[in-house]
Chain A
Amino acid sequence: MINKYKINTGASVKDYNKVSDWLSFEIPNKIKISSGKVDIGQHISTTLALICSRELGIDINSIFVNKLNTDITPNEGITASSLSVPNSGTAIRSASIIFKKNFLDFAAKSLNLNINNINLEDGVAKDPNSNASISFWDFSKAEEFLKLSIPEIIEIEDQKNFDHSSHVETKFINSIVKGEYKFLHDLRFDDMLHARIVRPPSYFHKFLSINNAIHKYLKDHNLKLYIKNSFIAVLGNDEFEVIKSLNRIKNSIEWEQVNKLANDKIFNLIDQNSKDSLIVKRGGEAFRENIPEIKSYNNVDHKTLTSEFNKPYLMHGSIGPSASCSFYKNGKFIIYSHSQAIYALKSILSNAFNLNEKNITLHFMPGAGCYGHNGADDVTYEAALLSKEFENKYILLKWTREDENCWEPYGSASKNKLTATLDKNNKIIYWSSEAYSDTYLTRPMVGKLEYFVSQRFINNDFKKYKVEPRTGAHMGIHRNLDPIYNFKETRLVKNLVHDLPLRTSALRTLGAFANTTATETFMDDLCIEANIDPFEFRINHLDDNRAIDLLNDLKIQMEKNKPSENGFRGIAFSRYKNSASYCAVGVELTVSDNVEVELKQAWISVDAGEVAFKEGIEAQVEGGFIQAASWSLYEQVNFDNNEILSKDWDGYKIIEFDNIPLINTSVINRVGFPYLGVGEAVAGPTGASISNALNRALGERIKSMPFSQENITKQLLG
C-alpha cells in the first residue's frame, strides 16, 4: 500500500512558484534543473538531480543542473545555514510532483485513456494497446506547462521502497578524477590580466609612499601598479611575474601603522571588553532584557557544578585561495565568483558602483571548499573594482596563501561559562549558559561596504566598525545556546564582545560549534558527577523521540566495535539550530605518553529527515567530523600586537591522513518527514565527543581548544 502525506513546499517556492522556474525540458530526453544554491562540494547538484530523478522516473544521467548565473537562476539567497536541501530540494521535489501529476492528466486526455492504464517509462506515456505515446518534452511545449504553479502544501507518496544502498556517482566526480573539472582559478580569456593585491602588514597600516625605483622593475616586467589610497594591486599578463613582483613591491613601500592589532591575550580581552548582553529564551530568540543573577542552591539535596570552554580564532582555510574574474565595459560587469552569496553581491556591487542591477551578471564558478564566509566575497569586490579601472580587460584576481590565511574573516574566538544544578534524583533543575564572542555575521550587505576587507584601505578609513547583536532564533553567537534538553529552568545569555582584534564572520556552524561543545561537555561532567551512563543521562533529559532514537542508535553502533587497546570513548549529541538534522557522535581515542591524541574510531548517527541522497549525507557528516576534529585537535590563528602570524600551513596546522579514525556512519531514514540540512550538524557533537573522551583518558577536563600536546601539557601542569 502506498502511503500519502502532505508537505510544505518551502521558502524558495514562495518566490518562485512556477514549475518552469525549476524544471526545463528544452533539450530532448534531458531535464534541466534550475537552483539558486551553489555547489561548493556538498553534492547539492547530485542531490537535486536525484530528487528529480526519483519523482519523475528519469535516469539521473539525463538530468542536468543549470549553471548558476544571477540573470537566469532563481534567487534563493545565500547558500548557507544547511538550507540547500530543505529549500531547493523541496522546491525541486514539489515542482517534479506537480509536473508529473499534470502530465498524467494531459497524457490521459491526449491518449484518451484512464490514468491508471497509462504506462509511463523514461518520461514517455504510452497507450499499452496501441503505439500512441506522449512525452514530458511534448507536454513542456503545451500552454499548460508554463501555467503550472506549485501550491504551499502538496500531497506526496512515500518512497519507502527506494533503494538508498545502491551507489550514485556524484555529478562532477568523473571530471574531478581526470583533472578536467574547471575551477574559477582555471579561467582563461585572451589578453587577460592576472592580479594580486599588495597587502599591508596588518589591518591598520596606511600607505605613505613607494620608492620610485620600483617603476623601472614594473616596466621591465610588463606589470602595472594600481594605487588608490592604501589599496594597492599589481597586474600583468604573466601570472608568475605578478606573484614574483609582490615581495619586491612590498619592500619598496613605506607604511604607517595607525593602530595595534591587540594589547592582550584574546581570552582576557573577551573578559575585559565592553559587551552587549542579551537574554536568550527557549526557542532561541534573543531579547534586550535585564540579565538575572545566576541562581545558587545551597542545600544538601542539590549539587551545583560550573564549567568553562574556550575556543580560539579558527580559519576557513580553503585549499585554493579565493579568486574572482571580472570584466567591465560600457557600464556593464560580467563577473565570475565562487561566493556563496552571488545574488547579494549583485545588489551590493550595483549600489557600490552606482549601476543598475541589470548591468551586472554574476556567474558562479567553483572554487575550493569554503565552509562559510571566507575571502570569496572580498576578492569579487576587489576584482570588480580593478576591472572598472582596467576597462575592457578580463581581470583574474587570486589571493595568495598569505592573503587567505591573514585576511579572511575568521570564526570568532569565544568563551562559554556554564553553571548547572542537579537535584537528588540526578535531574538537572537549573542550567545557566553564557556565550561570549565577536560577531559571526559580517557577510557583505548593501550599505555595509566596510564589511569588505579592502574598503578601509580604499578609503584610508581605519576606524573599527561596531556591529549590533542579532536577535533572531539561533543567529550567530547564540546558535544552539538553547539546549534541546528539558531542563526545568534555564538562564541563557548571549554576549557580543566589542573591539576584539581580528576580523570575524560566518564559519561553518557559527556559534553552534562552541555552544554545543560547551553544553555537551558539561552534560558529561554532570553525568560523571551523577554516576550515570552518558546515554541514559541525556535520555533522562529528553522528550524528543527522534533525539532518543538517535542516541539509542549510536549506542548500538558503538557496541558493535571492540574497544581499542588503551582507548577511551566519549559521546555527544545535538540537533543543529534545534530545527535541522539530529546528530550524535561517538569517538574513541588514545593519548600517548607524550600527550599526543590519536583518533582510533568514530561513530556518527544522523537523522536528516527523509533521505534524499544517502552517500551525500554520509560525505557531509564524515567531512564535517574530520574538519571539526581538526579544529578541536590542531587549529588556532596565532597573532601578536602587530600582525597575524599564521601566514601559511606551517603556521596553521590542520588534520592530515595520519589521524583519521575509522568512521562508522548510520543514517536514519525518516520517510515522510521534511528534508533537514546536514552540512553543519556534526561539528558541535564532534568537538564535544573528543573532549569527553579526552576527559575520560586524562581524568581532567581540558578547557581550551585546540587539544594539542602544548595546550594539554600546559593545563595538566597548571
Chain B
Amino acid sequence: MSKTEYILNVNGKSKNIVSSEDKPLLYILRDDFKLTGTKLGCGLEQCGSCAVLVDGSKILSCNRPAIEFVDKEITTIEGISKNDVLNEIQQSFKEFNAAQCGYCTSGIIVSLTELFNKKETPGKKEIIESLSGQLCRCGSHASVLKAINNIIKLRNKND
C-alpha cells in the first residue's frame, strides 16, 4: 500500500500527514487531527454533514483527497470559534436552540459561516442556495431559519 507524505493546515495548525493518496480530507480531520466535529453522513457528497471551509469557501470533505488541500487554509467547525468565543452564527444557533440531534449542525453552521463572511445581509434566495444539500432529518430547519433571521436583524441593527 503506497503512502505519501504532505502537510495540511487545519484551524491554523500545521501537521505532517502520511496517508494513501486517495484518503479523503474527512478521515484525515477525524483520524489525524482528532477533529470529530465534521461528520461522515453519506460519503457521497449528498448530505452536507462533512462541510468544511477551504480558504473561506465551503467544500464537502467526504470524498475529495486531502492531498488536494495542501497549501490551503482548512477551517472545521472547531476552528470557527476563536479562543472559545462563538461566532455570530454559533451564538444565534445557541439562542434559538437550533439543533435537535445535532448530527447535521456542524455542516449547516459551516455553510452559513461562508455565506455570512461573503455577504453582509444575505437574502432568502442566497440563504436557500447556501443551505442547498445540507440535509436535516429531525426538522430543525424552522429553528435554523429563525437563528438566521436573528443574525440578519442584529447586523442590520449594527449598521
The interface of chain A, by Cβ under 8 A from chain B, is: 40-43, 167, 169-170, 172-174, 176-183, 185-186, 188, 220-222, 238-241, 243-244, 316-321, 366-369, 371, 398, 400-401, 615, 619, 622-627, 630, 648-650, 654-658, 660, 663
**Inter-chain contact B105/A170, CB cutoff 8 Å:** no
Q: Which of A167, A172, A319, A650 has the largest number of chain B CB atoms within 10 A?
A: A319
**Inter-chain contact B40/A320, CB cutoff 8 Å:** yes
Q: Which of B37, B98, B128 has the largest number of chain A CB atoms within 10 A?
A: B37
Which stretch, B53-61, B133-141, B151-159, touches the partner chain A? B133-141
Tell which of B30, B43, B128, B137 touches A318, judged by Cβ atoms closer than 8 Å: B137
**Inter-chain contact B94/A648, CB cutoff 8 Å:** no
**Inter-chain contact B31/A177, CB cutoff 8 Å:** no
**Inter-chain contact A179/B35, CB cutoff 8 Å:** yes
B27 → A minimal CB distance (Å)? 5
* Nearest chain B residue, comparing its CB with the CB of A404: B42
Tell which of A181, A220, A243, A398 touches B102, judged by Cβ atoms closer than 8 Å: A181
**Inter-chain contact A173/B41, CB cutoff 8 Å:** no
B151 → A minimal CB distance (Å)? 13
Residues of A close to B101: CB separation below 8 A: 40-41, 319, 366-369
Does B64 touch A at the CB level, under 8 Å? no
Tell which of A188, A368, A623, A648 touches B44, judged by Cβ atoms closer than 8 Å: A648
* Nearest chain A residue, comparing its CB with the CB of B134: A657
A41 to B1, CA, bound (A): 41
**Inter-chain contact B143/A658, CB cutoff 8 Å:** no
Q: Give per-residue flags for B40-51: 1 if the beta carbon is below 8 A from chain A beta carbons, else 0.
A: 111110110100
Q: Which of B22, B106, B127 has the largest number of chain A CB atoms within 10 A?
A: B106
A220 to B128, CA, bound (A): 46
Residues of A close to B95: CB separation below 8 A: 167
Does B7 touch A at the CB level, under 8 Å? no
Residues of A close to B40: CB separation below 8 A: 185, 320, 398
B65 → A minimal CB distance (Å)? 10
* Nearest chain A residue, comparing its CB with the CB of B46: A649
Contacts A40-B101, A369-B137, A660-B141 given; does A319 touch B128 at CB 8 Å: no
**Inter-chain contact A648/B42, CB cutoff 8 Å:** yes
**Inter-chain contact B139/A320, CB cutoff 8 Å:** no
Does B17 touch A at the CB level, under 8 Å? no
**Inter-chain contact A173/B99, CB cutoff 8 Å:** yes
Residues of B close to A625: CB separation below 8 A: 139
**Inter-chain contact B105/A220, CB cutoff 8 Å:** no
Does B70 touch A at the CB level, under 8 Å? no
Tell which of B36, B80, B93, B103 touches A368, judged by Cβ atoms closer than 8 Å: B103
Residues of A close to B133: CB separation below 8 A: 656
* Nearest chain B residue, comparing its CB with the CB of A315: B137
A560 to B67, CA, bound (A): 56
Q: Give per-residue flags for B65-88: 1 if the beta carbon is below 8 A from chain A beta carbons, else 0.
A: 000000000001110110000100
**Inter-chain contact A648/B46, CB cutoff 8 Å:** yes
**Inter-chain contact B94/A319, CB cutoff 8 Å:** no
**Inter-chain contact A320/B142, CB cutoff 8 Å:** no
A317 to B103, CA, bound (A): 13
**Inter-chain contact A176/B24, CB cutoff 8 Å:** no
Residues of A close to B22: CB separation below 8 A: 244
A41 to B101, CA, bound (A): 4
**Inter-chain contact A619/B103, CB cutoff 8 Å:** no
A391 to B42, CA, bound (A): 30
Q: A177-B90, A319-B41 are in contact. List 17 more A-B contacts (CB 8 A).
A: A41-B99, A41-B102, A167-B95, A176-B105, A179-B37, A183-B39, A319-B47, A319-B101, A366-B101, A368-B41, A368-B104, A371-B137, A623-B142, A626-B139, A626-B142, A656-B133, A658-B128
**Inter-chain contact A319/B1, CB cutoff 8 Å:** no
**Inter-chain contact B42/A401, CB cutoff 8 Å:** yes
Contacts A173-B97, A401-B44 given; does A368 touch B137 at CB 8 Å: yes
A220 to B121, CA, bound (A): 53
A and B contact pairs by CB, cutoff 8 A, 29 listed: A41-B99, A43-B100, A172-B102, A173-B94, A173-B102, A177-B94, A180-B78, A188-B34, A222-B1, A319-B41, A368-B104, A368-B137, A398-B40, A401-B42, A401-B43, A401-B46, A615-B97, A623-B138, A623-B140, A623-B142, A627-B137, A627-B138, A627-B139, A630-B139, A648-B44, A648-B46, A649-B42, A654-B135, A656-B135
Residues of B close to A316: CB separation below 8 A: 137
A140 → B minimal CB distance (Å)? 31
Tell which of A182, A318, A657 touches B145, judged by Cβ atoms closer than 8 Å: A657
Residues of B close to A178: CB separation below 8 A: 37, 77-78, 81, 86, 90
